[in-house]
Amino acid sequence: MVHWVYFLYDEEILSLYKKQGGKLGTFNPRVPRDIQHARRGIYKYLLPGLVQVWYASLDNKDGIAFFVGKPLRDPREAFKRDLAGRCYKMFGRSPDRCKAIPDSLDLKWDLFLRDRTIHRLELVEFLASDQEGDMYPLTPEAYALMTSNDNQQTTSSMTQ
């Protein structure tokens, strides 16, 4: 079964989050909290829609995987138009195709990149989905404390 995924290394997710207007954190790829702010902001931006977020590694380098849409071979059938639009606005490209490796409990995937190379994607920890919610949500109190500490006021959907 074919799935659609965006994989971003830690540095890439922070760069994208900052570029899209994210405000929380120091944008340091060595600070796990900064990675969480970035993936949480991108996840919330993609909703509503079929979205799963995993802490993962691609060829043994850490990052975040955003599985989007239905597991269908044809991307036009896999995505509703609004989700496809938000994905393209966020990532600037279409998602990559991936396929679960047999007998891996759906934790190891072959990721087929646009340059026709195949890479090994390994899922490490489930972080969020449209149906399960966020496993590590930022509480309103924590958000208020962080924004008051940083003296930042924003209404962007990328900040939460």
Q: Give tens-digit pLDDT for 88-135.
A: 999 999 999 999 999 999 999 999 998 999 999 999 999 999 988 888
Residue 71 near residue 3 (C-beta atoms within 8 A): yes
- C-alpha distance from residue 92 to each of 21, 72, 74, 116, 156 (Å): 15, 21, 19, 19, 19
pLDDT tens per residue, range 2-29: 999 999 999 999 999 999 988 888 888 8
Residue 155 has pLDDT above 60, yes or no: no
pLDDT in tens, 40-73: 999 999 999 999 999 999 999 999 999 999 999 9
* 70-76 long-range contacts, CB within 8 A, separation 24+: 71/1, 71/2, 71/3, 72/2, 73/2, 75/4
- In 3-state terms, what secondary structure has residue 92? coil
